[in-house]
Amino acid sequence: MQYKWTAVWVTTVGIMMAGIDTRIVVVGLPSIAAQLHADAEEAIWIGQAYLLAGTVCLLLVGRISDLFGKVKIYNIGFIILTLGSAFCALSQTPFELIVARVVQGTGYAIIVVNSSAIITDASPKEELGAMLGVNVTAWRLGSIAGLTLSGLILALVDWRGLFYINIPVGIFGTVWAYKALHEIGTKDTSKKMDWTGFALFATGLTLVLLAVTYLSYGISGSSLGYALLVIGFVLIALFFRAESKARFPLLDMRLFRIRLFTAGNLAQLMNGLVFSGFTLLAAFYLQIGLGYTPLQSGLAIIPLEATYLVFSLIGGKLSDKYGSRALSTVGLLVTALGILYSASFTSATQYSEVAIMLGIIGVGNGLFTSPNSRAIMGSVPANRRGIASGFRTTMYNVGFTASYGLVILLITLGVPYTTLTSLLQGATTSYLARVEFINGCRISAIIFAIIEGVAIIPSAMRGPKEVQVPVGLEGHGSD
């Protein structure tokens, strides 16, 4: 077997496992909240902690991978993700589960960053879109498994089974990666780390995400929420300023001279915010608004994931022939229209309408994701692919992580926070509470559709050329 296929299939196991862990608690959050007596804040952080830990580590992981080798770091990530899954299954309180999800998220960051970089190193330029499309498909299969298996597992055993299933997969993947993968990429020879930059970025992003959580409390948390938001954005601004002057930066700011890289990442950020937030919103709507069980809810979301899977492959293949701009832009438009359609739903909406809406959104995201990833990864030199992959995934995950708190914040524009907590815990099923909840879902859908529409602007402005590497980035970057 050619090594390019070895790289694709081995990393497929890792990316699929990461996809499972990202989605597996979405459908199960109401059940986990009820069994662990978690309030709305704790329930959201059970999902958010995984993504937060993964997101703040992405740039650091990308930099370390460029320095010491993508394969070596990838293997370590598989071990961490497997151990994190075991810790999750053994948790006794919401706090313990949140901490265990942080461990999982660290392993997730390592796997996701290095999967794309390993494939990019091993693939011919003319096949890169298709190869990354397989990687995206693996993520989608993991997402489908996470959403559907969670409902099945919860119907048979308690929530701990959601994490036990990862352990044998993790052991298999770790052994296979160790034996099959070898280093062929270019390393950065500087051997320097930017710890100041990492501290500024990690602290700033954490404060922003905490701010979104506090703002969802309403008046009681607004003052602290706004304060954290301001401080977080100031720290992130200081991070970008520090990186522009650092001799050995965590994030090479010269990458932003590449139009494809910059525009693709802006679109990635907004799409990550919308898609992940809307998926959680859909799970809440199906269970609280329509009264579905976790199993029914997981099965009901399959049209979203199935169409995403198919059109990710189609989009990746087409982008190799026609480029990324048109496909990515059309994908964002289709997604925005699908989400806007959902704003008309009520507690009496038929599932056939829900399935059509989910299918439309899946098609749109499939057309966007693979071409956009191809444009970003194909636009940077080989010795910057680790950090480029790290930043690309960071942009998606910043949106992904912020979306969990944003969903609660937007829903509480239509239903009080205490009522939402009661609905999540199953403490109330009153008609008035459900009407308020549906109103919150409608507001959320409209705002998500607007954000996705705004993402069309940078996507359309990315330019027609596929490679725009500026002078000074072709070397090893050790100057």
The CATH number of residue 420's host domain is 1.20.1250.20
Q: What is the rounded distance in angstroms from the CA atom of residue 361 to the CA atom of residue 357? A: 6
Residues 323 and 211 in one domain: no
Residues 304 and 162 in one domain: yes
Residues 99 and 83 in one domain: yes
DSSP code for 470: P
Residue 85 has, within 13 A of its CA and on its CB side, a CA count of 25
Residues 344 and 401 in one domain: yes
Residues 201 and 286 in one domain: no
For residue 401, tell me if it sits in a domain.
Answer: yes
Residues 293 and 424 in one domain: yes
Q: What are the tens digits of pLDDT across the range 411-460?
A: 888 888 788 878 876 666 777 888 888 888 999 999 999 999 999 998 88
- CA–CA–CA angle 23, 384, 234 (5° rounding): 65
Q: Token pair of 465, please?
A: 């050329």
* pLDDT score recorded for residue 155: 80
Residues 231 and 298 in one domain: no
For residue 476, tell me if it sits in a domain.
Answer: no
For residue 471, tell me if it sits in a domain.
Answer: no
Residue type, 128: L
- CA–CA–CA angle 157, 158, 161 (5° rounding): 75
For residue 478, tell me if it sits in a domain.
Answer: no
Residues 73 and 189 in one domain: yes
Looking at mean pLDDT, say which of 206-210, 347-351, 431-435 comes out highest: 347-351
More confident residue, 335 or 466: 335
Task: Look at the pTM and tell me if it is higher than 0.75.
Answer: no
Please, are residues 357 and 334 in contact by the beta-carbon 8 Å criterion? Answer: no
Q: What is the rounded distance in angstroms from the CA atom of residue 430 to the CA atom of residue 285? A: 15
Q: What are the tens digits of pLDDT across the range 225-272?
A: 889 999 999 999 998 888 888 777 767 777 788 888 888 888 988 998
Residues 235 and 96 in one domain: no
More confident residue, 359 or 416: 359
Q: What are the tens digits of pLDDT across the range 460-479?
A: 887 655 544 444 554 433 32
Q: What is the rounded distance in angstroms from the CA atom of residue 376 to the CA atom of residue 369? A: 11
Q: Token pair of 274, please?
A: 């919308």
Selection from 364, 260, 374 nearest residue 316 by Cα: 374
**SS3 labels along 95-121:** HHHHHHHHHHHHHHHHHHHHHHHHHHH
Return the number of other C-beta atoms located less than 10 Å from residue 199's C-beta. Answer: 14
Please state the φ and ψ torsions of residue 475, each to the nearest 5 degrees.
-85, -160
Return the number of other C-beta atoms located less than 10 Å from residue 167's C-beta. Answer: 14
Q: What is the rounded distance in angstroms from the CA atom of residue 392 to the CA atom of residue 134? A: 17
For residue 175, tell me if it sits in a domain.
Answer: yes
Return the number of other C-beta atoms located less than 10 Å from residue 373's C-beta. Answer: 30
479 Cβ neighbours under 8 A, 6+ residues apart: none
For residue 479, tell me if it sits in a domain.
Answer: no
Residues 228 and 320 in one domain: no
Q: What are the tens digits of pLDDT across the range 305-328?
A: 889 878 887 887 788 777 788 888
Residues 111 and 150 in one domain: yes
For residue 131, tell me if it sits in a domain.
Answer: yes
Q: What is the rounded distance in angstroms from the CA atom of residue 425 to the CA atom of residue 430? A: 13
* pLDDT score recorded for residue 343: 92
Residue 109 clears pLDDT 70, i.e. is over it: yes
Residue type, 445: A
* C-alpha distance from residue 76 to each of 81, 106, 153, 293, 362 (Å): 9, 10, 28, 37, 33
Q: Token pair of 467, please?
A: 């490679």
Q: What is the rounded distance in angstroms from the CA atom of residue 312 to the CA atom of residue 300? A: 20
Residues 221 and 130 in one domain: no
Q: What is the rounded distance in angstroms from the CA atom of residue 190 to the CA atom of residue 317? A: 36
Domain that holds residue 98: 3-194+246-460
* pLDDT score recorded for residue 218: 60
255 Cβ neighbours under 8 A, 6+ residues apart: 261, 262, 380, 384, 387, 388, 391, 473
For residue 166, tell me if it sits in a domain.
Answer: yes
- What is the count of structural domains for the chain? 2
Kindly tell me the burial class for residue 277, based on how many C-beta atoms sit within 10 Å of its own C-beta (0-12, 13-18, 19 or more).
buried
Residue 219 clears pLDDT 80, i.e. is over it: no
